Structures are given as C-alpha cells and as structure tokens.
C-alpha cells in the first residue's frame, strides 16, 4: 500500500517533489528541536489542484496528512509517525496585489519577508512582524493565528485575513477567496480554519490586508521602575501620539541577564540593569509627522522625545535611549528578537506562551515566580512580553529534564493564568505540547463543539491527527 501511494504521488508531482529517506531530513524538526518527525514521505505540491490530488490519494489509502510551512513552530505541530507531510513551499506565488483595495492575494508558501518587500515596493505594508519573518510562511502564520510585535496596532493574523482557500480532508477545495470587509452570508467559515493548525484542512491561499507603509518610525529603549508604571506609560504614549504606538515590548531583568550571558557581544542599554526595560516604537504616515525639519530632525522623533521628557519629569521613565538612525533602531530590535535564540540555547527549558489582561501581567509574574521558587528553588525563570497586548513568553529553566516536574510547573502557570482571566496559548498554537493544558483549562463545552467540527470535516481523523484537541 505504501509503495502504491508513493507511485501515485510521483505520478502526480514528479519524483523530485516526493522526498523519502534521508531527503526528508530538513523537514523533521521545528525551532525547538523537541520533536523529531518520521513521515512516510515529504511531498511538495506546486498548486492548489496538486494539493487536492495529494489529499484525495491520501484519503484513498487512509494515510494521515501533516501540513508544513516555514517550520518555525514551537509546539510540535509537525510531529508525525508514518503520516504524509505536505510542504506548501512551492505554493509561493503572490498572485496579485491590489493597491487601491489594499489587499494582497498570496499563496500559503509565501515567506513573510517577501510579502513585506512586495508591499513596500507599492508604498504599502503587511503588518505582521516577528523575528522569524525571514522563513515563516503565510500558511503557517494563518494556521497558528500568529501574532508578533505589531498586534497592539494591527491585530493578529486573523485580523489581517479577508479571504481563504482551503483543501479539505477529502480533496475538495473550499473557496472563500473574497476581499470583503463585510460578509454576513452565514457562518464565518474562514475564521474556523485560522488557528486550526491544519487539523481541519490545508490552507493554500489567502487574501491579506495591507496598510499604508509608515514613512517614519521613532524607536526608543526605556528604563522603567515597574510593570504597573509601564502600563501607565503606554497609555500616556498612546494619548500623546494619537495611537501611533506600534510596538511596546517588555524585557525584564531576567531577560536582560540571560541575553548578557548568551550574547555578551550585544551589550545592555542601561547600567545598572533596571527591573523593567521597554522597547517602544511609533509609526507614522502623515506628512506632518514624517517630513524632516530644517535641522534634519523628524517631527515624529521630536514628539517621542518631548513626550518621554515629560514622562521622565513625572517619574514614569528613569532613563531613555532614542534611536537616531536605522542602525541604532536595528540594534534595539535585535535585543528583543534574540529571544528564541537565547531560550533554546540552554536546556532543559519549558517554553510557554500565555496572555492575560494588560493590568494582570504584573500579578502573573509575581504570583508564578513565588510559586515556582517554593516548588523548585533551583529553577530559573525568564520572561519577555508583547506588553501592549498582554502576551507573555515565559520560560523556565528547571535543574533536570523531568517530564512530570515540567508538567507540574506548566500546571502552576495555568492556574495563575486562569485565576487572572487569561489563556494558556496566546500566539504559538497548541500542537502537541499544550494538549494537557487544553484538557485541563479549555471549557468542556467548547472542547465538545471543537470535536464535533473535527468529526464533521475530518471523520477519519487524518488531518494533523493528535494535535490541538486533547
């Protein structure tokens, strides 16, 4: 049966696009390296029609299907033993960009940075921005409802998607590829597939929103006394700038300490190290904010500097560094975007991705740290956060790789998150690593409805089986 399926797949796609044996090696792990897949084969269809034929062939043989995009996931979404891995890398066409409608029609294998470049050529911007943008693909971002640094202003991937094309488990193509901002014609099927991690079908194309490209940025690194004061600072900045804050990133002392250990070449912005370091960035399109003044300064940067000066007088900012050129801005962002590198360079680690209301971030950090130290004094905690939307990436470095201890630590964090009205999964998805959390924390009725949807669309449980649902 296996050889017959491979023969049919080769006839459909061509031998170079059906990878077996050692040729599968680049596809077997994600960023964390925590899981190593063993697929029957990795196939690389080059069109929606080929994806549909692959899924029909897999359905005929009863073979599981696991989608793969840029492989920058963190929750084991690629894991399979004997399933057929379907890479969307050859679905890499930008089908159309319509500047007047401010939309891009793209296939699932388009790398985010390529879409950024194509939009920028038309003075537009695709506002999904995170460290893996040079390898992450549109399909993976949609499948996990990725977030990133600009959610504060533009929303997560779901907010940026107008239309979707999906191949279902039986090979049928669901065409929801409209560019409408309003459509009340029944159930919002598009949203059901975004964040489903390939368990309901394979996303092959999408209509994504574009926005006017910022003509200028103003970026600063700030030393702040505490998290509650950082939130006051955020609100004051939003009010003073008319909502121009695009990013508001939190790097506590634990993060800066780990950064200095792992990358001493980077350097720290402040001495002594403050308890709270904030990276803030404003973006503007209006001529009044972005036209250089006679002295060469930018009104947007002047606005940020004046606002920060007032905030320093009020005691909300202890110290500040303002980027005066693009290289200084890039250096500030590099500190933040090294988070994955400095996390995964040390093992064992427990990587989590939670969100709470903005005013609950400080209680979360304080409550969990106290519980962690009482439970395992030898464990170390490191955090970094998209503070503007309450998303905290909290990593624990335990003294030993004990799965039971790791699960108990995650459960303690879940308890704190639930107490504060948050979620155990903010932007990385569920995959394999958070299924226990789904079982413990997701509303039972919600789980039952999700299972019914899964059963209706994938009755044989072949689409990325074992993921998301407990």
pLDDT, tens digit, for every residue of 13-64? 999 999 999 999 999 998 888 899 999 999 999 999 999 999 999 999 999 9
pLDDT at 353 over 80: yes
As a whole number, mean pLDDT of residues 71-79 equals: 92
pLDDT value, residue 259: 95
- Given a cut of 90, whether residue 395 has pLDDT beyond it is yes
Q: Can you tell me which residue has the tokens 């006679």? A: 294
pLDDT tens for each residue of 277-289: 999 999 999 999 9
Which whole number is the average pLDDT over 321-338? 96
Question: Looking at residues 168-193, what average pLDDT do you find?
Answer: 97
pLDDT value at position 326? 95
> What is the reported pLDDT for 323?
97
Are 78 and 85 contacting, i.e. CB atoms less than 8 angstroms apart? yes
pLDDT at position 2: 86
- How do beta strands 380-386 and 245-252 pair? antiparallel
Domains of the chain by range and CATH? 2-90 (3.30.43.10), 94-212 (3.30.465.10), 216-339 (3.30.70.2190), 347-425 (3.30.70.2740)
pLDDT attached to residue 296: 87
Across 353-370, average pLDDT: 97
Separation of CA 319 from chain center:
30
**Terminal-residue alpha carbon distance, the chain:** 30
Q: Say how far apart CA 220 and CA 317 lie, in whole Å.
A: 12
Residue 1 has pLDDT above 80, yes or no: no
Nearest to 276 by CA among 395, 123, 387: 387
- Asked if residue 192 lies in contact with residue 453, where contact means CB atoms within 8 angstroms, the answer is yes
pLDDT given for residue 327 in this prediction: 96
| pLDDT given at position 160 | 98
What pLDDT is stored for residue 30 in this prediction?
Answer: 85
What is the share, in percent, of the chain residues with pLDDT greater than 70? 100
Mean pLDDT over the full length of the chain: 96
pLDDT digits over 84-141, tens only? Answer: 999 999 999 999 999 999 999 999 999 999 999 999 999 999 999 988 999 999 999 9
pLDDT for res 330: 96
Q: Is the pLDDT of residue 304 over 80?
A: yes
Maximum alpha-carbon separation in the chain: 74
Answer whether residue 344 shows pLDDT above 90.
no
pLDDT digits (tens, 9 = 90+) for 220-238: 999 999 999 999 999 999 9
Per-residue model confidence as pLDDT tens digits over 408-458? 999 999 999 999 999 999 999 999 999 999 999 999 999 999 999 999 999
Whether the CA torsion 442, 443, 444, 448 is positive or negative: it is: negative
Stretch 9-13: mean pLDDT: 98
Q: Which tokens hold the place of 118? A: 């194509």
What pLDDT is recorded for position 34?
A: 85
């Amino acid at each position: 049966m296996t050889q017959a399926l491979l023969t049919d797949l080769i006839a459909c796609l061509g031998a170079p696009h059906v990878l077996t044996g050692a040729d599968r090696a680049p596809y077997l792990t994600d960023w964390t390296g925590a899981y190593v897949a063993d697929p029957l084969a990795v196939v690389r269809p080059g069109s929606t029609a080929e994806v549909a034929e692959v899924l029909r062939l897999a359905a005929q043989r009863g073979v599981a299907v696991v989608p793969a995009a840029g492989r920058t996931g963190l929750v084991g979404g690629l894991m399979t033993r004997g399933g057929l891995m379907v890479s969307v890398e050859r679905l890499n066409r930008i089908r159309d960009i319509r500047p007047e409608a401010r939309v891009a029609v793209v296939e699932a294998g388009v790398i985010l940075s390529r879409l950024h470049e194509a939009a920028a050529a038309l003075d537009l911007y695709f506002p999904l921005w995170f460290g893996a943008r040079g390898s992450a693909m549109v399909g993976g971002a949609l499948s996990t409802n990725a977030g990133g640094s600009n959610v504060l202003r533009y929303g997560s991937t779901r907010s940026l998607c107008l239309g979707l094309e999906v191949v279902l488990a039986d090979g049928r193509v669901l065409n929801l590829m409209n560019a409408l901002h309003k459509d009340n014609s029944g159930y919002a099927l598009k949203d059901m597939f975004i964040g489903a991690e390939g368990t309901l079908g394979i996303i092959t194309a999408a209509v994504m929103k574009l926005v006017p490209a910022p003509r200028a940025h103003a970026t600063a690194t700030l030393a702040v006394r505490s998290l509650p004061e950082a939130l006051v600072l955020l609100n004051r900045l939003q009010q003073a700038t008319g909502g121009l804050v695009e990013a508001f990133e939190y790097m506590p002392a634990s993060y800066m300490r780990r950064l200095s250990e792992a990358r001493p070449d980077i350097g720290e912005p402040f001495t002594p190290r403050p308890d709270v370091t904030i990276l803030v960035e404003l973006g503007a399109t209006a001529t009044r904010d972005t036209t250089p003044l006679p002295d060469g300064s930018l009104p947007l940067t002047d606005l940020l500097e004046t606002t920060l000066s007032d905030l320093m007088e009020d005691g909300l900012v202890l110290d500040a560094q303002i980027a005066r050129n693009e290289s200084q801005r890039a250096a500030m962002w590099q500190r933040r975007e090294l988070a994955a590198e400095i996390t995964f360079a040390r093992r064992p680690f427990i990587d989590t991705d939670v969100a709470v209301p903005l005013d609950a971030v400080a209680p979360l950090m304080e409550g969990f740290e106290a519980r962690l130290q009482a439970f395992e004094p030898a464990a170390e905690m490191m955090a970094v956060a998209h503070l503007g939307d309450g998303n905290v990436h909290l990593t624990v470095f335990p003294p030993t790789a004990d799965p039971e201890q790791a699960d108990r630590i995650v459960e303690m964090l879940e308890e704190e998150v639930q107490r504060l009205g948050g979620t155990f999964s903010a932007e990385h998805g569920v995959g394999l690593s958070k299924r226990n959390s789904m079982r413990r924390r997701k509303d039972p009725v919600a789980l039952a409805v999700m299972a019914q949807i899964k059963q209706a669309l994938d009755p044989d449980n072949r689409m990325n089986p074992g993921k998301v649902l407990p």
